[in-house]
Amino acid sequence: MKVKYKKAVLWGVIAIVINMVIGNLLYMNPFVHGFFKAHQGHPAMKSHAAFGGVANWIIMNALFSLVFLAILVFLFVLIYKGLPWKGWKKGLAFGLIVAFVKAVPEAFNQYMILTYPTSLILVQLINTIIGITIFGIVLGFFFDRFKAIKD
């Protein structure tokens, strides 16, 4: 297997940008926003002021997302050959594996030890699974279509 690093980085960055747009659509749509708005002031919810304001909160989230997604691109390259199928389906396999390894234990942990509202835990669980699965599909499509890795 030969990795074409420039292409891998380029298409990984493009997939990250697409994922950040999708993440904003998943979390900022009126339906999901209503869930969060209904729980404003809940003792388990931190205010934006706790982070120095909305701008700092957005910056911190964006930076964490960039680092996390860059790690996922690296992981995709690392385990690429061991994933089933080709193209977007290979990305689907990767996305589902990562989504369930990340989201399910995280949601269970929140449910068991925090007073965080259950409806918000479910929204995060569903959005994380959808977002990371789409990210995997996009990675698989781009890496196959633009030959970022040669078998």
For residue range 21-34, what is the model confidence (pLDDT) as tens digits?
A: 998 888 888 888 88
- Work out the average pLDDT over 124-139: 95
Confidence of residue 46 (pLDDT cuts 50, 70, 90): confident
**pTM of the predicted protein model:** 0.90
**Alpha-carbon span 132 to 147, nearest angstrom:** 22
Q: CB under 8 Å to 148, separation ≥6 — which residues?
A: 3, 4, 7, 8, 10, 11, 142
Confidence of residue 122 (pLDDT cuts 50, 70, 90): very high
Residue 2 is classified by DSSP as E
